[in-house]
Amino acid sequence: MQSTFDERNWLVWLVRVRIFILTLLLAIELAIAQFSPAPLPWRLFLSTIFFWYSLSLFYVLLLSFWQEHRLQAALQVLTDVVLVSLVIHETGGWDSSLNFLYPLVIIVASVLLPRVWAGLVAALAFILYGTVLELNYYVVVPSYCTTHPGLKALQAIIFVNLFAFLAVAYLAGLLTAKLRQVGVQLKDASGALESLQALHENIIQSISSGLITTGLDGRITLLNTAAQRLLERSAAELVGMPVSQLFLDPLPTVDSQNAHGEVRFDPPTKFRKTLRVRATALTVPDRGVLGFVYALDDLTEIRRLEREVRMQDRLAAVGRLAAAIAHEIRNPLTSIAGSVSMLSGVPEMNEDHRRLLDIVTRESQRLNSIITDFLAYSRTKQYHFDKVDLVQLAEDTLTLMDHRMTAEKTGIVIHRQFAVRQALALADGDKLKQVFWNLCENAVRAMKNGGTLTAVIEPLGHDWQVSFIDTGTGMTSQQVEKIFEPFQSNFEGGTGLGLAIVYQIMQAHEGKVWARSKPGQGTTFVLRLHRLDAERTISADKGIAGKNATHAVAESSLAVAAGGGARG
């Protein structure tokens, strides 16, 4: 059974065909009248044709406000049968050559209406046709026939047409049923194909890995949502672009044994990413290789965590080493310093000897400072966790740093970008101030010729993100990877323990710290700390603080950090 939409289209088609046939009949009758005189009642014939035209236009208007298309189809078929009978009467009855219009109406009925209607219309056509011929034969109505067959011949004409009408009805109904069945199957197949295409597209768009397809020329033809998110660009920007231009490293080739690898990618708005790429050939049966498929996964966070684990191992080893040898070094160092002090009081020493003793004293003091930082790094401390406001801690640190920059006329301007007025966290406020001071001190040392230091505090999921951004000289990727390791100072006079202590403090707070930098483009230090749930009670805060207070870490004092002795 056809849908309402299809029936309406068929009815529109029927009106168009009817108008075409009426126009053709009118032209044929006019041509016949020019070459052979016939008793055609032109006024009556033209009136019938024009009435048929008007009725067709009425049916077109009826489609716009009457939605019962099945009833409209039945009405049009019945009126067509009646008007065909009238036209056959006007064009000569049994002499008329227009009785072929009956089979056309029967075929239309089989298409627009259920199959039984084809038989009913065929029977009605037989009745009307026989009635027209009988009325003309017995001159009940005016006859326009040119011949006068006998009664048997008339009956033969009527029954031959009856057989023809029924045969047309049967064959048209059978063919229409087959066509409808095929149409339903085609719609089902089309629907299944559309569903399958939608499913495949949804699968491609839903997978978490980025997916890029290219042609044999290497130009991008398709990207899924994950790929657009990884590359931070829309499909409209990337389709048609050579895929090799996106990455800093060559892509793996399908022909190689290891069709996978890691490539670096510079997004338009963020820092460099590391992506794993798997390449395969896009093969279609019977057509061969049509292109290539690249699957992308973001390894940036994994590689950062791997570096963090390696750094933790190195920090632990250095901490154990510091605890083992610091005291052993300080004892002989104290003896050396005492001996040198006694030697400096000998009156027989000349100026050269005293200058050498001063060098020994000065270097002993520097070595003692290093040992002090070493002990601060490895010494076990207790943390005092409480509810603190990160905005206030950062503001206090930046205010001190601002006064210092003004007094020293360094040309460094400090900007604050706080997305919130209050950022509550469970932390040791003094230790976080030390972290903030150390990071600001590093930024100041990196901007010898002045610049801008920007402090940013913003919410990010369940964490607070604190960033310190400078416009200094920046660092290479190798320096960034080792920046939190002990004795990795990039500044003259630093011991390289400041950022290692920062890292330990953040570990004690179950937070994260990392650096992002490029040579000549400044450095960004990023801190992540858990947000304090506003619904927690003070007692719950203290309970958590008591649990976290057992964490043992190494730190330097704030005075040492402010003085630069423990700077990275």
Strand, coil or helix: 425: strand
Question: Do 273 and 230 meet the contact criterion of CB atoms below 8 Å apart?
Answer: yes
Question: Do 59 and 83 meet the contact criterion of CB atoms below 8 Å apart?
Answer: no
Spell 200-230 as b/e; 16+ CB within 10 A means b: eeeebeeeeebbbbbeeeebbbbbbebbbeb
Question: Do 565 and 489 meet the contact criterion of CB atoms below 8 Å apart?
Answer: no
Q: What was the pLDDT predicted at 97?
A: 79
Q: Which of 542, 565, 568 is nearest to 483 (CA)?
A: 568
Q: What was the pLDDT predicted at 318?
A: 67
Gap between the Cα atoms of 544 and 425, Å rounded: 12
Q: What was the pLDDT predicted at 72?
A: 84
Q: What was the pLDDT predicted at 327?
A: 63
Question: Do 224 and 207 meet the contact criterion of CB atoms below 8 Å apart?
Answer: yes
CB atoms within 10 A of CB 87: 21
Q: What was the pLDDT predicted at 336?
A: 77
Strand, coil or helix: 515: strand
Q: What was the pLDDT predicted at 379?
A: 61
Kindly list the distances between the CA atom of residue 188 and the CA atoms of 8, 146, 195, 316, in Å, as whole numbers in the listed order.
21, 56, 10, 67
Q: What was the pLDDT predicted at 13?
A: 82
Q: What was the pLDDT predicted at 393?
A: 92
Angle between helices 390-408 and 429-446 (to 10 degrees): 40
Gap between the Cα atoms of 461 and 531, Å rounded: 9
Gap between the Cα atoms of 302 and 135, Å rounded: 97
Mean pLDDT by 10 residues, the chain (568 residues): 58 82 81 70 85 85 81 87 88 82 86 85 88 85 80 84 86 84 80 77 81 89 88 86 87 74 81 86 84 88 81 71 68 75 72 77 76 65 85 91 86 91 91 90 87 92 92 85 72 65 86 88 91 52 42 33 36
Q: How many CA atoms lie within 13 A of 342 on its CB side?
A: 5
Gap between the Cα atoms of 430 and 524, Å rounded: 22
Q: Which amino acid is at 517?
A: S
Burial of 5 (0-12, 13-18, 19+ CB in 10 A): exposed
Gap between the Cα atoms of 309 and 304, Å rounded: 9
Kindly list the distances between the CA atom of residue 516 and the CA atoms of 81, 257, 270, 524, 530, in Å, as whole numbers in the listed order.
86, 35, 10, 5, 21
